[in-house]
Each structure stands twice: as C-alpha cells, then as structure tokens.
Structure 1
Amino acid sequence: MGRAADMLGTTQSFHRALGEARLITPLRSAGGHRRYSRYQLRIAARARELVDHGTPIEAACRIVILEDQLEEAQRINAEYRRAAGSAPPPTAA
C-alpha cells in the first residue's frame, strides 16, 4: 500500500478510504500486504484527481464508478453496432 501511495502521491489512509468506499478491493499477498492492479491504480488516480479539485471522497468514488460503468456500456454498444453492421440486413416480409 505504501508503494501505491507513493506512486500516486497520496497517503495510505486515502487508499484505505477507497477500500472502505468499495471503489477498489486490492488482492492480498501471503503476508497480508495489499496488492493493487494497474487498473485499480488508474481508478485511484482518478479519485485523487477529483478529491484534489474539492470533491468529497464518497462523491469522488461514486463518480468514478459511474464513469467506469458508462465506459463499459459504450464499449458494449460499440460491439453491438459492429455486429449489426456486419450482419445481413433484414428482408421485408
């Protein structure tokens, strides 16, 4: 956790708060140390950006979750559009 905090210029308590808000849930090493993925570090960095601009941490976490959900929905929609574009057009009955 200390290394992740150093990388992002945050504190360990900030990362604990993100975990308590259920924004990120790091894996644990055999020794009990928190292990963050690159994706989780990107999410934490986005939350830090929002907090740095005055957004309360709980609201920042909710914003990041909603942004992530929107990105996923847009990706799925793009896949559907591509699939629909490659499918033969429906015939008139």
Structure 2
Amino acid sequence: MMALLGLAAPLAGLTLQPPKQSDLRLVFLAPWQDADMLAQSAGGTLVGPQQALFAALVQTDDPARFDQRARDFGAFGVRDGAVIAALCGVAL
C-alpha cells in the first residue's frame, strides 16, 4: 500500500500542474485508443518507441491548438510533457 502511495503522489503532481506552452505534451488517453492516430489527428507526432498504457508523449508545433484538438478526439487530458520526459530520460 505504501509503495502505491509513493507512486501516486508524483503522478498526481504531474496531472494537476497548470498547463504550460512547451512543445512536448503528455496526453492521457484510454488504453483502447490509438495514440498515434490521436496525435496525428490533433497535429502532433508521438515521441519515442514506447508509450504507457494510459499516456503518450507527443511533440507539436502549436501546443494550445493541439491540446484542444486532442481533447476533441477523446484524450482525457493534456499536460506539459517536459518534466515526465526528463524523468524518463527522453532527450529531444
């Protein structure tokens, strides 16, 4: 139980942070959604060869437009992806 709480706190902090305007976005989506199709439809490109079950890192040139379009295409939420990318060792 303590391990679960230890993992939940950093993830909650990432999801509750105010949106920023970096070009790297963390997109939250359902496991049955096609992350690549959602990213392309919203105007972005998936980053990295791997993605999490409920999230994907996406690079975009227009973060504000991408955020709205991603939600329109079914994303649960979109946040700045720079922090999680740094934690995961993604170098752009």
Q: Which structure features the higher share of helix residues?
A: 1
Higher relative contact order structure (alpha carbons within 8 Å, sequence separation ≥ 6): 2
Please say which structure displays the higher CA radius of gyration.
1
Shorter-chain TM-score above 0.5:
no
Q: Which structure features the higher share of strand residues?
A: 2
Q: TM-score, normalised by structure 1?
A: 0.28
